[in-house]
Amino acid sequence: MELGHFPDESVRLSGQAVQSSVFEYWGAHSAIDGIKHAPGAASSCTCTNAEKNPWWRLDLLDNYYITAVIITNRADCCPERLNGAEIRIGNSLENNGNSNPICAVVTSIPAGASYGYSCPYMEGRYVNIIIPGDKKVLTLCEVEVYRGFPENIAIKGKAVQSSTFRYESNAAIDDNELYCTHTETEANPWWRLDLMDLQTIREVIVTNRIDCCFEQINGAEIRIGNSLQNNGNSNPKCAEISGIPAGKSVSYSCGEMQGRYVNLVIPGDSKNLTLCEVRILIKYESWVQALSKTIFSLFTIQIVSKQLYNKVKLTGNAAQSSVFEYWRADRAIDGIKYAPGAASFCSHSKMEKNPWWRLDLLDNYYISTVTITNRVDCCPGRLDGAEIRIGNSPENNGNSNPICAVVTSIPAGASHSYSCPDMEGRYVNMVIPKVTGTLSLCEVEVYGSLPGNLAVGKTATQSSTHPAWEAGKAIDGTRNNWTKCSSTGYATNPFWRLDLLNIYRVHRVVITNRIDCCPEHINEAEIRIGNSLENNGINNPICAVISSIPAGVSYTYSCDGMVGRYVILVIPGNMKVLTLCEVEVYGTKFVLSRTFIKVKLHSSANLTDPATRDKLLLELQSALGLSSVSDVKLSWSKPPYRAVTQEEKKPTRTCANKR
């Protein structure tokens, strides 16, 4: 059964909140405003009137797999009002959504505390919280809904195919849709994935090639089972692919079929089979299985955009200075703030000097907030004085990176948030300095965002313009619309230049070629990055040379942190045309270093005059050969002053006053 296009994993969870009634100004949206509890401001929470069956509902605006719901209770009073609240998730609005399946029932949450409830891969658009009964009041200070897609287990398997034409079978399970498999033209071509164990398969997602020949997948059968008879092609059929648009992904429901092998086969003569990606989603039996998969695999954290509070799952690795018994570092990023009676869901070091815990985000991020949850059972004072450090240096295990904040104290079981506005780094450390102690963390949440596409909102120019194909169309965010591309006219050495308006370390450049025709117009283009506008920027250092890009395809070129303000694409040669459908630039801010020099000047000029001082700086910059260097600027750290010309006479030192 064809279900439609599989949604991109980077889709944002934005929602709309409503509730059964509103007490004064305590509206429903206050539970999703990102403020768990502002001291003295419980009005950042929701509150209904006293009524029968009060409820609160979040509309996610689409169907998602929900993994967990975290609820924060009000800190000032009345924590018992939440007792007995039901968390319900589903797609029905019958009874205002309060008849959807139950994820969990809230027994109690202490004042100001946050409790997490596991809802492993429950599906739904609506998340409801309702308290059954008469004359009840529902108050929520924050509701966090975490979503994810079931793990794609295909990447853990082994793939083979009936024959190979250039492109190997494992290209369909490399998590990269730009690399595809390809068989020879033959009878009944097939591709098979060995999952290495029996699995209950819910869905198979197939991605078709984007460049051409998308009809070649038509008629492919998806078969699942445990037999290798006929190379696995005789196993029961899950679905038949009628067609998949070029570059698209379509999901096929397999109704929880069981098997070790997943085959795709096209029956018939003179066929070939191309697959750009195959994803396999399995059934999760219980929260125990979901939890064990979280603990014993790479661990995930939640990164939330500072503007929209959108949850995005990222992969991180946790480590700590030592491990006390089974309280490993990854316990602090397992999504469980505390399970009542089970403080072992926390991390814990041994008693030692300067104990530390570190999260490696595996990439550079802008960090806005770090939220720490303390253990609930005992010893909350052990966290006092812990430093939160963020940066890119692994020196001293990351404990020498800049400080975001120092933890004064966190009550037992409470969660406190620390603002680190736009600090940048790959590593987030917690360290207790200068003392012998232990470090225990029940949950660490890091909020921030990946550095975005730097090209957005910047200025583009090109050597000439084919009518209606302006330079700015290459940075308008539209990849696959040929009317939204830039193009020069025929010229010698045609170029396109992006001014980033500031200096950045450029890590990668993504180029999208036009989809309608003429993909060869980008062949041999050079990507150059630097700060010089000499020769229109074409003399800047080369990041990469584009040999070719198929029509409509995006290729990524690594520039390894090259520094520059300008990104230039140029095709050397006569009678060339340069066409670009999209240019994306990803990098990080380049921090200019400052050097302070103290000089003594012999001058009769009046250096108290600002114009004279500016002229002197220009002459000095020229004398130092810095006039043509755009990222070096001389300035006065303090105005020059006239030195005392008559030095104080010093006493003469003789043998008589030696000691």
More confident residue, 408 or 546: 546
Of 537 and 115, which is predicted with more confidence? 537
User: Integer distance in angstroms from the first to the last C-alpha of the chain?
Assistant: 100
In which band, very low, low, confident or very high, does the pLDDT at 10 lie, cut at 50, 70 and 90? very low
pTM of the complete model = 0.34
**Is the CB of residue 46 less than 8 Å from the CB of residue 55?**
no
Residue 619: Cβ within 10 Å count: 10
Per DSSP, the residues of 181-201 read --PPSBSS-EEEEEEEEEEEE
Q: Which CATH architecture has domain 298-449?
A: Sandwich (2.60)
For residue 120, the model assigns a pLDDT of 65
Q: Residue 240 has what pLDDT?
A: 94
Q: Which residues pair with 251 in a beta bridge?
A: 4, 205
Distances (CA, A) of 107 to 33, 79, 344, 468, 533: 24, 11, 21, 64, 66
**Res. 342 pLDDT band, cuts 50 70 90:** very low
pLDDT tens for each residue of 566-623 = 999 999 999 999 999 999 998 877 655 455 566 666 666 777 777 777 777 777 666 5
What are the structure tokens assigned to 369, written together?
């907030």
Q: Give 184-196 pLDDT, tens digit per residue.
A: 999 999 999 999 8
Q: What is the DSSP string of 616-653?
A: HHHHHHHHTT-TT-TT-----SS---PPPSSPPPPPPP
Query: What are the pLDDT digits (tens) for 470-501?
Result: 999 999 888 877 788 999 999 999 999 999 98
Closest alpha carbon to 34 in 126, 128, 147, 114: 114
What is the topology classification, in CATH, of domain 153-282?
A: Jelly Rolls (2.60.120)
DSSP 541: P
The pLDDT score that the predictor gives to residue 354 is: 93
Which of 245, 170, 166, 306 lies closest to 2, judged by CA?
245
> 659 pLDDT band (50/70/90 cuts)?
very low
Q: What is the pLDDT of residues 418-427, one digit of tens each?
A: 887 657 788 9
Task: Tell me the mean pLDDT in the region 351-368.
Answer: 86
How high is the pLDDT of residue 2?
27
* Residue 299: pLDDT band with limits 50, 70, 90: very low
Q: Most distant CA pair in the chain: distance in Å?
A: 113
The tens digit of pLDDT for each residue in 23-49 reads 988 899 888 887 776 544 456 899 999
pLDDT tens, position by position, 137-177? 999 998 988 876 566 888 889 999 999 988 889 999 988 88
Per-residue pLDDT reduced to its tens digit, 49-94: 999 999 999 998 877 778 778 888 988 888 898 999 999 999 999 9
> 459-589 has which fold?
Jelly Rolls (2.60.120)
Output the pLDDT for position 652. 39
CB–CB of 70/146 below 8 Å?
Answer: yes
* Mean of per-residue pLDDT scores for the chain: 81
Cα–Cα distance list, 230 to 188, 234, 259, 265, 568 (Å): 11, 6, 16, 11, 54
- Which of the pair, 513 or 290, is modelled with greater confidence? 513
Provide the pLDDT for residue 378. 84
Question: Coil, strand, or helix at residue 110?
Answer: coil
Half-sphere exposure of 221 (CA within 13 A, CB side): 15
The single residue listed with the structure tokens 């991020």 is: 365
Query: pLDDT at position 150, please?
Result: 62
The predicted pLDDT at position 223 comes to 96
pLDDT at 278 over 70: yes
pLDDT value of position 600: 63
Residue written as tokens 């967990």? 68
Q: For domain 2-147, which CATH number applies: 2.40.128.640, 2.60.120.260, 3.30.160.60, 3.40.190.10?
A: 2.60.120.260
Model confidence at 654, pLDDT cuts 50, 70, 90, reads: very low
Answer whether residue 310 shows pLDDT above 70: no
Percentage of the chain modeled with pLDDT above 90? 38
Q: Which residue has the higher pLDDT, 475 or 408?
A: 475
268: number of Cβ within 10 Å: 10
* Residue-level pLDDT at 315: 59
Confidence at residue 538, expressed as pLDDT on a 0 to 100 scale: 95
- Residue 416's contacts (CB-CB under 8 Å, 6 or more residues apart) are 371, 372, 374, 407, 410
Residues of the chain with CATH 2.60.120.260: 2-147, 153-282, 298-449, 459-589
- 190 forms bridges with which residues in the sheet? 265
Q: Which helix (H) or strand (E) holds 289?
A: helix 287-295
- Closest Cα to residue 178, out of 274, 313, 314? 274
Q: How confident is the model over 274-285, as a mean pLDDT?
A: 80
Q: What is the mean pLDDT of residues 522-542?
A: 93
Give the integer Cα–Cα distance in Å for 561 and 588: 8
